[in-house]
Amino acid sequence: MPARHGATVALAFLLLTAGCSTSKTSNTARTAKEQLLISNAVDQVLDSVDFSSFYGQKVFFEEKYLDGTDKAYVVGSVRHRLLLNGAALTGSADDAEVVLEARSGGIGTDMTESFYGVPEVVLPGMLTIPELKAATRTSQKGTAKLAFVAYDAKTKSVLGSGGTSLAVSDYNDWAVLGIGPFKTGSVKQEIKASTAGHRYQTPSGQLVSFDAPAQSSEIRTASHAKE
């Protein structure tokens, strides 16, 4: 009996003194979804810009007219595209053959919420018919509008028409009769393609283009003639 009593007391002590742990979680000031909406829209815009005219050119990228959210991503992405197209980036306009200017017409996100069903109805006599949602939809959109102009660093003459490109990314959550969410949109496609090991292809064509400097065109023509 004493042994059994002692075991009971020990078990009760363990139950009363059982420890617990908590984990602390935190979120960034901006959600990953918001940042992906903007970067996806920026990528779509740049997919509509033809940087191939800068091949073999010393290019200074002027960013002082760029403003807005995620400017660093825009600047880095433009520089990356220039390098991929064979341009040599310079640190100043004095050392360049071409100056490329970019300006932002709007970079940001919007969200809309909607549902399909019957809204709440208040009848006379304090009688209320509750809201009935058959389907709900939360849609977030990212918009990026960028404009470009290029000119000869020596003569200051404009190289081609340049232009403006606008793109919209989206991320949608659907729920039907409480089942969901079902996710759609360009950001969802990018996440799916990236996590599956594939490169996401934006559905946009070439819209903004430039001309190479005249001196460069003459050099290219001469080199082709020699060949």
Q: Name the CATH topology of 30-197.
A: Rossmann fold (3.40.50)
Residue with tokens 């969200």: 111
pLDDT digits (tens, 9 = 90+) for 104-145: 999 999 999 888 887 778 877 777 877 777 888 889 999 999
CA–CA dist 176, 122 (Å, integer): 25
- State the average pLDDT for the chain: 83
Residue 215 has pLDDT above 50, yes or no: yes
Say if CB 40 and CB 186 are below 8 A apart.
yes
Model confidence pLDDT, tens digit, residues 155-207: 999 999 999 999 999 999 888 887 878 888 888 888 888 887 666 555 555 56
pLDDT at 116: 83
Residue 173: which residues within 8 A CB-CB, separation 6 or more? 137, 138, 139, 180, 181, 182, 183
Residue 71 has phi, psi (to 5 degrees) of -60, -40
Number of helices (H) and strands (E) in the chain: give both, helices first: 5, 8
User: 46 is written with which tokens?
Assistant: 């740049």
pTM, 2 dp = 0.73
DSSP per-residue string spanning 47-69: TTB--GGGTT-EEEEE-TT--ST
Domain ranges of the chain: 30-197
Residue 220 pLDDT exceeds 50: no
Which tens digits make up the pLDDT trace of 20-37? 666 777 788 889 999 999
The arithmetic mean of pLDDT across residues 1-23, rounded, is: 60
